[in-house]
Amino acid sequence: MGSVLVHVAAADGTAVSLELGPGDVARFGRGSADRPVEITLPDPAVPRLAGEIRASEDHWQLSNFSTSLSYVVENPEGAGEYIRIAPRRIGAPVPFEFARVVLPTQGATQSFQVYAPAHTYYDAPPLPQSAGPATLMAFPLDESATYFLVLVALCEPRLRDMSASAVPTTRQVVERLRTHDTCPGISEPTVSFHIDYLARNKLRVRQPESGGRRMDGKREAVVSLALRFGLVREDHLALLPARPATRLENS
Dump pLDDT digits (tens) for 191-250.
999 999 999 999 988 655 544 444 568 899 999 899 888 899 889 999 999 876 655 444
What's the start-to-end Cα distance of the chain, in Å?
44
Q: Quick one: CA torsion of 136, 141, 145, 146, rounded to 10 degrees?
A: 140
Please report which confidence band the pLDDT of residue 73 belongs to, taking 50, 70 and 90 as the band edges.
very high
In the chain, what are the domain boundaries? 4-115, 146-239
* The pLDDT value given to residue 251: 45
Could you write out the three-class secondary structure of the chain? CCCEEEEEECCCCCEEEEEECCCCEEEEECCCCCCCCCEECCCCCCCCCCEEEEECCCCEEEEECCCCCCEEEECCCCCCCEEEECCCCCCEEECCCEEEEEECCCCCCEEEEEECCCCCCCCCCCCCCCCCCCCCCCCCCCCCCHHHHHHHHHHHHHHHCCCCCCCCCHHHHHHHHCCCCCCCCCCHHHHHHHHHHHHHHHCCCCCCCCCCCHHHHHHHHHHHHHHHCCCCCHHHHHHCCCCCCCHHHHC
Residue 172's contacts (CB-CB under 8 Å, 6 or more residues apart) are 247, 248, 251
CATH of domain 4-115: 2.60.200.20
Q: Taking the model in full, what pTM does it have?
A: 0.71
Residue 233: closest CA among 180, 160, 139: 160
pLDDT for 246 equals 56
Q: Are strands 92-94 and 98-103 parallel, antiparallel or unpaired?
A: unpaired
Higher-confidence position of 17 and 245: 17
Over residues 151-160, the pLDDT tens digits come to 999 999 988 8
CB 152 within 8 A of CB 236: yes
